[in-house]
Amino acid sequence: MENNKKEIKFPKGFLWGTSTSAYQIEGGITNDWSEWEKSEARSKKLKKNGKNPADYICGNGCSSYNRYKEDLDLAVSLNTNSIRIGIEWARIQPDKDVWDVEAINHYRDILREAKKRNLKTAVTLWHWTNPTWVTDEGGWAKKCAIEYYLGYVDFVIENLGGEIDYWITLNEPLIHVFNGYIRGIFPPAKNNIFKAFKAFNNLAEAHKRAYEKIHNYFPDAMVGITALINDFEPARPWLIPEKILANIFHYFWNHKFLKKIKNDMDYAGLDYYFHDRIVWYPPFRKNLNKKTTDLGWEIYPQGMYRAIKYLSGFNKPIIIMENGLADSADSRRAEFIKEHLSYVHKAIAEGADVRGYFHWSLLDNFEWALGWSPKFGLFAVDRSTFARTKRASADVYAEICKNNKVDI
């Protein structure tokens, strides 16, 4: 058996990291999400579905706003050389004319502490949440959101710019548009396709102008977004309607936003979670689901390879900014990481310029509309004491990061 063991090495200088976002871990944030999740309408809906609304409130998060040094130490204990964190617009600009110096100093401190620990920093400026005053004025469906966002970006550039290695202007803009304006399951909880189109275009423009601004200050900056790329494939490639449908889904879900910003990105940020085997009849997806996560999401590592192949078409370096699973028993995570990385490696061996892998997530965190039950962390977090406990898979990931290779 020993002879069958394979060792796959990653390029020198490969970025190994973990990913988090501000709202999902910090705690104590007031923004459009915090207000929406506490709203009467939301609680009623949850109760109607037999859920306890308290399990769907972010509240103190993982208390990472207070425990950030501990979290950075956890990242170091994994032998990672990078970290992706988010900063919260609503903290920095709680009102239109209010800039919170303490908050920006706090983020500077986090980034400097990361640097002290030799961690490269990837920083998300916007991960779906907005200050309430922005949402009250119509959110991303209104053009003014672009100007407001750019004001915030200016402030971040001036105050934190020197500490940021990889800029993520927007995290998965399409998810905000789709869940916030079409499905209505994220704030602003609309079902309005026209507003969805406006938000889509405004987000694209906001990115382009932020890209330009950041480059005015830092010509060599690495600026991009993260895109959730789903691996769509026809269930039966010989069945023309399924082939066409898979292409349509791919175009609207994966390609359309990137096509708009393709000249304004220095790298392609990839978030990979989903494989979609497309059939011609509703609900259009029929996965084989041989292996799934706690959320029933199919585990399909080959899709990572195809997502990388697709992004290679943009001729930019690729950084995997998110990949992970909900696995409270930690029975699948180690295997999941290794298998996905072996497909990352296969793509690299065939010439893809992949520069890094950030695992989602460092901690069990607040999983948006799904609340607290999904466990995505390499470290479990006790909901009342906030104590962090390492899961066994974290040791496997730490070995990989230390040796810059995977043994399979």
Q: Which residues bind ligand BGC (CB under 6 A)?
A: 21, 24, 171-172, 175, 228, 271, 322, 360, 367
Shortest spacing between CB 86 and ligand BGC, in angstroms: 9
As given in the structure block, the two tokens for residue 384 are 């009342």
Shortest spacing between CB 202 and ligand BGC, in angstroms: 19
Beta bridge partners of 83: 121
- By the 10 Å C-beta count (0-12 exposed, 13-18 middle, 19+ buried), 209 is classed as middle
Q: How far is CA 282 from CA 172, 238, 278, 295, in A?
A: 25, 19, 10, 21
Contacts of 136 (CB under 8 A, 6+ apart): none
Shortest spacing between CB 272 and ligand BGC, in angstroms: 10
Q: How far is CA 394 from CA 24, 80, 293, 332, in A?
A: 20, 11, 17, 12
- Angle (CA) 271-276-277 rounded to 5° is 155
**Closer CB to ligand BGC, 175 or 221, in the complex:** 175
- Number of CB atoms found within 10 A of residue 106's CB: 17
Query: Residue 195 in contact with residue 252, Cβ under 8 Å?
Result: no
Shortest spacing between CB 298 and ligand BGC, in angstroms: 14
- Number of CB atoms found within 10 A of residue 376's CB: 25
Q: Rounded CA gap, 148 and 97, in Å?
A: 11
**Closer CB to ligand BGC, 91 or 359, in the complex:** 359
Shortest spacing between CB 223 and ligand BGC, in angstroms: 18
**Closer CB to ligand BGC, 21 or 393, in the complex:** 21
As given in the structure block, the two tokens for residue 242 are 């399924």
Shortest spacing between CB 402 and ligand BGC, in angstroms: 26
**Closer CB to ligand BGC, 21 or 82, in the complex:** 21
**Closer CB to ligand BGC, 234 or 269, in the complex:** 269
Q: Rounded CA gap, 26 and 86, in Å?
A: 9
Shortest spacing between CB 19 and ligand BGC, in angstroms: 8
Shortest spacing between CB 167 and ligand BGC, in angstroms: 16
**Closer CB to ligand BGC, 8 or 391, in the complex:** 391
**Closer CB to ligand BGC, 117 or 291, in the complex:** 291
3-state DSSP assignment of residue 269: strand
**Closer CB to ligand BGC, 132 or 171, in the complex:** 171
Shortest spacing between CB 142 and ligand BGC, in angstroms: 24
Contacts of 367 (CB under 8 A, 6+ apart): 24, 326, 373, 374, 376
Shortest spacing between CB 360 and ligand BGC, in angstroms: 6
- By the 10 Å C-beta count (0-12 exposed, 13-18 middle, 19+ buried), 324 is classed as buried
User: Which single residue is written with the structure tokens 């290794």?
Assistant: 338
Contacts of 291 (CB under 8 A, 6+ apart): 298, 299, 332
Q: How far is CA 262 from CA 125, 162, 211, 237, 311, in A?
A: 19, 25, 11, 29, 11
**Closer CB to ligand BGC, 24 or 80, in the complex:** 24
**Closer CB to ligand BGC, 57 or 228, in the complex:** 228
Query: Residue 242 in contact with residue 236, Cβ under 8 Å?
Result: yes
